[in-house]
Amino acid sequence: MAEELTPETPDEAEEPIKQRKNGLYPGVSDELAENMKSGWADTELTGLAPIPQAAETAARRAALSARFPGERLVVPAGNLKTRSNDTEYAFRASTEYAYLTGDQTHDGVLVLEPVADGHEATIYLLPRSDRENGEFWLDGMGELWVGRRHSLAEAEQLLGIPAKDVRELTAALKEATGPVRAVRGHDAGIEAALTDKVTAERDEELRVFLSEARLVKDAFEIAELEKACASTARGFEDVVKVLDKAEATSERYIEGTFFLRARVEGNDVGYGSICAAGPHACTLHWVRNDGAVRPGDLLLLDAGVETTELYTADVTRTLPINGRYTDVQRKIYDAVYEAQEAGIAAVKPGAAYRDFHDAAQRVLAEKLVEWGLVEGPVERVLELGLQRRWTLHGTGHMLGMDVHDCAAARTEAYVDTTLEPGMCLTVEPGLYFQADDLTVPEEYRGIGVRIEDDILVTEDGNRNLSDQLPRRSDEVEAWMAALKG
């Protein structure tokens, strides 16, 4: 009796079982341990088709290989992060790892090993759980608790990359000689194994390369961004349909409604949804979303669905909660719309990246001078940046797997570059009159407007990927009226 209650697993000393779920510490009799080892069907899958982006990920690895000949390159997916005790935060693989492999499993690591004519890629993954040592049902990471994983042979077929057991990687890296670069910040265990072998400066060059490689999207990526925008548009429609429920509760109803669409059609939201009603619209990253939703106010909704392959939209609409803009809301909205039109028109191949920002800022500065909020001429306002009291942020950024994509790209490759077909960027001017801004007429105070769309640079200009959603004020009103029935 006493023996049965002793919290020990079979041969614990030899075969450590790291962790148990739910605080339950099962007493395991020898008979049960033996029983659990067998009687399970072989579920190995064969003849699996490669993932749809296998050709693209191979081309991306080839470009990476060409940039760093003769060096070992280590790109981790990252590890689970504990939320409390034995629960973890939702996992999202590192962008670099998912970009190069198409895989999204935690603890995975891509290694490019230098060989005579380039590199040999290997993906290191957690294999299927062992049935012999009880890991599959006694370990908190066992498949019985967290779900079946692909076997290494299955992963090879799916990803088109030879796969090995990641639990052997740390020792192999410690042993390895020769130059190494690693993507940092995702996997402390891997970084520890590489101590003394990598340097921050060399690793930064790898990070920069992988950021700049994503500036121009391939066909797979463009299709994913289209999907993200289409789902996002449906999410915005969902929100409009339940605005009365949000009025009865809070901005959280809007956040939850959009999140449902993101989870059902995609992986997640690509960033915390900004569901900003009334004066909250003037707080640029309002993600608390716990405020009241009142008829007569505006709702600034900035949200994006991230697809299952981790590409996100980034879209903003500023909607009249009761379906009609007031005169002053419309005046401010239409000014932002005009600025966005000017910004979008400046997105084309060969244009300077900064052009769309300058075009939108000029329109906003003109409006601010016209309304008497700042003394002209417009050139002086722009030169001194005086419009920025109310425009606050840049007019856009690259978009892709990260909402602020390619963030490690060098200035000369990003903001000082010219646009090329396949680049995708947001155009998102705004005007924000803080509730306590005594320099503007009282009727402006607490009004914030942003309009944001996802614009793909094409051979002959651009294509608005988020144009399923109306932008002009009268079209927004007609769209809302139709959705509300």
Smallest distance from Mn ion to CB 393, Å: 9
Smallest distance from ligand GLY to CB 395, Å: 10
Distances (CA, A) of 416 to 282, 316, 460: 29, 26, 21
Task: Give the one entry of ligand GLY, Mn ion, none that residue 271 binds, where binding means its C-beta sits below a cut-off of 5 to 8 angstroms depending on kind.
Answer: ligand GLY
Number of chain residues interacting with ligand GLY (CB under 6 A): 6
* 271 sits near ligand GLY (criterion: CB under 6 A): yes
Interacting residues of 295 by C-beta distance below 8 A, sequence separation 6+: 247, 321, 322
Q: Which residues ranging from 306 to 365 are in contact with Mn ion (CB under 5 A)?
A: 314
Which residue matches tokens 């005046």?
Answer: 331
Both structure tokens of 324: 């009609």
How is the chain split among helix, strand and coil, in percent rounded to 5? 40, 15, 45
Smallest distance from ligand GLY to CB 94, Å: 20
Smallest distance from Mn ion to CB 354, Å: 16
Both structure tokens of 199: 């340097």
* 405 sits near ligand GLY (criterion: CB under 6 A): no
* 302 sits near ligand GLY (criterion: CB under 6 A): yes
Exposed, middle or buried: residue 247 (CB in 10 Å: 0-12, 13-18, 19+)? middle
String of contacts with ligand GLY for each residue 87-126, x by CB under 6 A: ----------------------------------------
Beta carbons of 197 and 190 less than 8 angstroms apart: no
Task: Give the one entry of Mn ion, ligand GLY, none that residue 187 binds, where binding means its C-beta sits below a cut-off of 5 to 8 angstroms depending on kind.
Answer: none
CB closer to ligand GLY, 369 vs 427: 427
Distances (CA, A) of 173 to 61, 75, 84, 121, 298: 20, 13, 31, 14, 55
CB closer to Mn ion, 255 vs 452: 452
* 101 sits near Mn ion (criterion: CB under 5 A): no
Residue type, 289: N
Beta carbons of 318 and 274 less than 8 angstroms apart: no
Smallest distance from ligand GLY to CB 19, Å: 36
Interacting residues of 2 by C-beta distance below 8 A, sequence separation 6+: none
Task: Give the one entry of ligand GLY, Mn ion, none that residue 157 binds, where binding means its C-beta sits below a cut-off of 5 to 8 angstroms depending on kind.
Answer: none
Which residue matches tokens 């970009």?
Answer: 99
Residue nearest to ligand GLY (CB): 302
Both structure tokens of 330: 């419309």
* 287 sits near ligand GLY (criterion: CB under 6 A): no
Smallest distance from ligand GLY to CB 284, Å: 8
* 403 sits near ligand GLY (criterion: CB under 6 A): yes
Both structure tokens of 476: 């927004």
String of contacts with Mn ion for each residue 412-451, x by CB under 5 A: --------------x-------------------------
Q: Nearest Cα to 254, choosing from 268, 264, 240, 270?
A: 240
Both structure tokens of 295: 């008829």
CB closer to ligand GLY, 126 vs 427: 427
* 371 sits near ligand GLY (criterion: CB under 6 A): no
Task: Give the one entry of ligand GLY, Mn ion, none that residue 212 binds, where binding means its C-beta sits below a cut-off of 5 to 8 angstroms depending on kind.
Answer: none
CA–CA separation, 58 vs 35, rounded Å?
44
CB closer to Mn ion, 9 vs 316: 316
Q: Provide the CA 289 distance to its chain's centre, in angstroms.
A: 20
Beta carbons of 435 and 279 less than 8 angstroms apart: yes
Rg, Å, the chain Cα set: 26
String of contacts with Mn ion for each residue 274-303, x by CB under 5 A: ----------------------------x-
Q: Any idea what the Cα angle at residue 261 is, between residues 256 and 262, rounded to 5°? A: 90
String of contacts with ligand GLY for each residue 417-446, x by CB under 6 A: -----------x------------------
Task: Give the one entry of ligand GLY, Mn ion, none that residue 96 binds, where binding means its C-beta sits below a cut-off of 5 to 8 angstroms depending on kind.
Answer: none
* 107 sits near Mn ion (criterion: CB under 5 A): no
Exposed, middle or buried: residue 35 (CB in 10 Å: 0-12, 13-18, 19+)? exposed
Among 71, 297, 314, 454, the residue binding ligand GLY under the rule CB under 6 A is 314
CB closer to ligand GLY, 77 vs 303: 303
Both structure tokens of 443: 């009727």
Residues lying near Mn ion in the complex (CB under 5 A) are found at: 302, 314, 426, 452
Site residues, ligand GLY (CB under 6 A)? 271, 302, 314, 403, 428, 452
